[in-house]
């Protein structure tokens, strides 16, 4: 029962982080509103949301898949988790100190939303937040020993990485689509400038907290 509660909490964290990314305008949902206003087509909004989601998903996978491969080395499980936690903490500290948005994102044309979303998620360390959560879901399984066991273990972790990335991105896309729809059809662009607040500091602190939890949890393995 305790293990089930732990897994439920970890999957809840995957979904919650996706919801947070969905609310965060830095992940791109205002661009979907802009695309619909520029093309004067309602369908452009949802096409933009899909493009942003694809880019975000690819960014999650490029971070998670290498760690899914490393989890096959069970003998170094604690070290891998500590390294991942420390890496997330360092990125959070960097973003807290350097809170300026990357200038190169402004040079990407609106027609390349998949690329923009991919690079924006990488620049903000979005995928890294999922790493300690993902590793928590990768408890060692009973596959026996030998090369075949390692192959099966690696395959199961890659499947978990794909599922984590998909669930997280789906949560983000649904929230982003909801906000973009509200702004485009009812609230207007003035709503963003008048009511939105900067989430960058909150995001950086969240990375530090998640990384620290992952690091100290690994010490007790």
Please write the tens of the pLDDT for every residue from 156-167: 788 889 999 999
The Cα 54–Cα 37 span in angstroms is 21
Burial class of residue 66 in the structure, from the number of CB atoms within 10 Å of its CB (0-12 exposed, 13-18 middle, 19+ buried): exposed
Most confident of 2-6, 33-37, 172-176, 200-204: 172-176
- Tell me: pLDDT of 76 over 70: yes
Yes or no: say if 159 and 138 are a contact pair by the CB < 8 Å rule.
no
- Tell me: pLDDT of 97 over 80: yes
The token duo for 119 is 């690079």
**CB count in 10 Å sphere of residue 88:** 26
pLDDT digits (tens, 9 = 90+) for 119-130: 999 988 889 989
Yes or no: say if 91 and 99 are a contact pair by the CB < 8 Å rule.
no
Yes or no: say if 38 and 110 are a contact pair by the CB < 8 Å rule.
yes
Which DSSP state fits 124?
Answer: T
pLDDT digits (tens, 9 = 90+) for 13-51: 999 999 999 998 889 999 999 899 888 888 999 999 999
This prediction has a pTM of 0.88
């Amino acid at each position: 029962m305790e293990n089930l509660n732990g897994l439920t909490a970890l999957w809840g964290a995957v979904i919650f982080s996706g919801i947070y990314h969905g609310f965060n305008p830095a992940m791109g949902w205002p661009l979907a509103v802009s695309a619909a206003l520029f093309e004067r087509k309602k369908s452009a909004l949802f096409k933009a949301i899909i493009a942003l989601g694809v880019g975000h998903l690819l960014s999650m996978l490029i971070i998670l898949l290498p760690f899914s491969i490393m989890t096959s080395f069970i003998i170094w499980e604690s070290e891998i988790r500590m390294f991942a936690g420390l890496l997330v903490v360092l990125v959070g500290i960097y973003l807290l100190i350097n809170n300026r948005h990357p200038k190169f994102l402004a040079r990407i044309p609106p027609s390349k939303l998949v690329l923009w979303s991919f690079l924006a998620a990488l620049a903000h360390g979005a995928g890294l937040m999922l790493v300690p959560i993902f590793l928590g879901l990768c408890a060692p399984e009973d596959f026996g020993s030998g090369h075949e066991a390692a192959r099966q273990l690696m395959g199961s972790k890659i499947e978990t990485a794909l599922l984590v990335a998909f669930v997280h991105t789906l949560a983000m896309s649904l929230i982003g689509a909801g906000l973009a729809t509200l702004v485009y059809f009812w609230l207007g662009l003035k709503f963003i400038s008048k009511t939105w607040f900067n989430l960058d500091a909150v995001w950086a602190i969240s990375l530090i907290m998640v990384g620290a939890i992952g690091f100290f949890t690994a010490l007790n393995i």
